[in-house]
A and B are shown apart, each in its own frame.
Chain A
């Protein structure tokens, strides 16, 4: 299974943009890139996903490298509520969610 590599932790100032990187050099052509986040004492929640093109939704933007070997989750204006562990995950579209493998993620700290 393709794996992802993320920094263990990052810090960002409140009200500034945050760029969370993810490397997935062994990604296959059918793998989707998902991002989930886990707020303290809660279950993970979906943030965004994409295949080849950049994606935007109300929570964040996902920038995918042209060779798809890396991606970046962009929080445009971080708030204290965005402090969480962010997981970058690959899923094989041939199998669906059962191939979702969560790593240890990036713990994002927001500095007031």
Chain B
């Protein structure tokens, strides 16, 4: 099994629908992240969480919300999906314990979302 599992891997939905992307990890890491990837734009940080009680906005959080249900689970929600949220979404984790501050991210395989 993968260390970081994202579901669904592919989803097609319509404008205005509520969508949830789920992420679970078996690495025992405290930190979890949601990124969005668009062609030609690299990856952009949406939200991140350092532990179950900690949620922080990234650079593009508008239109998204998250829930950290447990150390191992971090969900991303689109309350009312719109076409420009069509993208590839990645979940990532890190242990956040490196004394050097240079922590390593482990990414999931991605969830491709299409909003019609």
Contacts and interface: CB of A to CB of B under 8 A. Distances in A.
Given A96-B96, A100-B45, A103-B42, A43 B101 contact: no
A79 B60 CA distance: 36
Interface string A42-81: 1111100101000000000000000000000000000000
Q: Interface of chain A, helix or strand or loop or mixed?
A: loop
Chain B interface size band reads 20 to 34
Interface string A79-103: 0000000010001111111101111
B74 interface: no
B99 to A, nearest CB: 10
Interface stretch (B12-20, B61-69, B76-84, B106-114): B106-114
A110 to B, nearest CB: 22
Given A93-B101, A93-B102, A96-B96, A104 B41 contact: yes
A105 B45 CA distance: 16
A76 B29 CA distance: 32
Among B41, B106, B107, max chain A CB count under 10 A is at: B107
A43 B40 contact: no
A97 B35 contact: no
A4 to B, nearest CB: 10
Contact of B100 (A32, A41, A46): A32
B109 A43 contact: yes
Contacts of B48: 97-98
Interface of A: 30, 32, 34, 36, 41-46, 49, 51, 87, 91-98, 100-105
Interface of B: 4, 31, 33, 35, 40-45, 48, 56, 58-59, 90, 92, 94, 96, 100-110
Smallest CB-CB A-B distances: 6 pairs: A93-B101, A43-B107, A102-B43, A32-B102, A102-B42, A46-B104
Given A49-B104, A91-B101, 17 more contacts: A32-B101, A32-B102, A34-B102, A36-B105, A42-B110, A43-B92, A43-B108, A46-B104, A51-B102, A91-B103, A93-B100, A93-B102, A94-B101, A96-B96, A97-B48, A97-B94, A101-B59
